[in-house]
Structure 1
């Protein structure tokens, strides 16, 4: 499967399953703990980029309530439409994250929770390099990525009428890619999920 068709599956999948994936009022305790941690690291009225923002919940809603300025980006039209309705205080862009461009030093933090692994594997190092450039000195990256290498699809994802696609490296590879960006890895955790899980990284721009 080529990169374009993979991205097309992701866009179509989240368009079809947006509400199934997360309702307007679904609980987000795990995310809230991460975001509360991030909030302690941010300056007042920080500029935050949320790559793969979904419907704006929980990241944009949580951080705008704390007085921060959030720019969310997502490939799904439906997710962005919902985000603009649910979190009108934030800015949302419908775009393929692999094509994003921002000026250097635009953000105090960038968040990529389970979004990088929906992008073509060969483009992920470049995305991480650009994110590092978009961070201001002292900025933070919070990313949930692959623990084990895998590329593939799942039909009827979440019991819904759509196929989802992922492409991910293993945690050691993501650690290497992050180091190559010049970011300092501050912490790495394992998020257990079923028989496997994901890797959670905190990285800092000196």
Structure 2
């Protein structure tokens, strides 16, 4: 039984999002520079310096695989993505090479416990209802033997945001802290907040974090 948000993203809205946000690597780099003043490749280097290039990495909600290609460009070799939307999963297989793309839900990740060295999200947790968030967080932690990481829309408290005229489809929060509050076996390795350069007057920001099991 899909959640309201899963149904929403599996439909035409999700398809339009995919078409609107699919970029070539050089366009993707420029998008990050214009919005946050740093590329995701540079962020990978800052956050994942201790991660072996042979490490198994899973991105939950990979869409067409831009972030996965970014990991590949950073030198990582064992890269996996799981994507709910059929259209995006098929596009990801066209846009990527030597990356394992699976269509499925982050609420039921089809891998055994501790299979990955790193499980991450990029702009995915923000689209999951706070009521359902613990379930996907549980799955991410279950599948990782070491690291959890996310890049998400930031606010000190969970806040609902109207998203292109739709309600109940976007929230900003301190997702690093939500992980720490739920899991006593996680510690914070690194956390940085990146304000939107293109929306400086709004005060909006994204946050990237890296958490480790101990």
* Structure 1 segment 60-99 matched on structure 2, within 5 A: 60-65=68-73, 66-99=75-108
| Residue in structure 1 matched with residue 163 of structure 2 by the alignment | 154
Shift of 1:133: 2.3
Question: Would the alpha carbon gap of residues 63 and 198 (structure 1) be closer, same or farther in structure 2, given more than 3 Å must change?
Answer: closer
Which structure dedicates a bigger proportion of its chain to strand? Answer: 1
Structure 2 gaps of 5+ residues are 33-38
| Residue in structure 2 matched with residue 160 of structure 1 by the alignment | none
| Residue in structure 2 matched with residue 6 of structure 1 by the alignment | 5
Shift of 1:107: 0.4
Query: TM-score, normalising length from structure 2?
Result: 0.78
Question: How many Å separate the matches in 1 of 2:144 and 2:88?
Answer: 25
Shift of 1:151: 2.7
Shift of 1:164: 8.4
User: Comparing both chains, which one has the higher relative contact order based on Cα–Cα distances under 8 Å and sequence gaps of 6 or more?
Assistant: 1
Question: Would the alpha carbon gap of residues 164 and 104 (structure 1) be closer, same or farther in structure 2, given more than 3 Å must change?
Answer: same
| 1:48 aligned onto 2:47 | no
Question: How many Å separate the matches in 2 of 1:204 and 1:86?
Answer: 31
Shift of 1:48: 0.3
SS of equivalent residue, structure 1 residue 44: coil
* Structure 1 segment 13-28 matched on structure 2, within 5 A: 13-25=13-25, 26-28=27-29
Count matched residues. Answer: 194
Shift of 1:72: 0.4
Shift of 1:39: 4.3
| Residue in structure 1 matched with residue 179 of structure 2 by the alignment | 177
Question: How many Å separate the matches in 2 of 1:198 and 1:89?
Answer: 29
Question: Would the alpha carbon gap of residues 96 and 152 (structure 1) be closer, same or farther in structure 2, given more than 3 Å must change?
Answer: farther
Q: RMSD of aligned C-alpha atoms?
A: 2.4
| Residue in structure 2 matched with residue 129 of structure 1 by the alignment | 138
Shift of 1:185: 0.8
SS of equivalent residue, structure 1 residue 99: coil
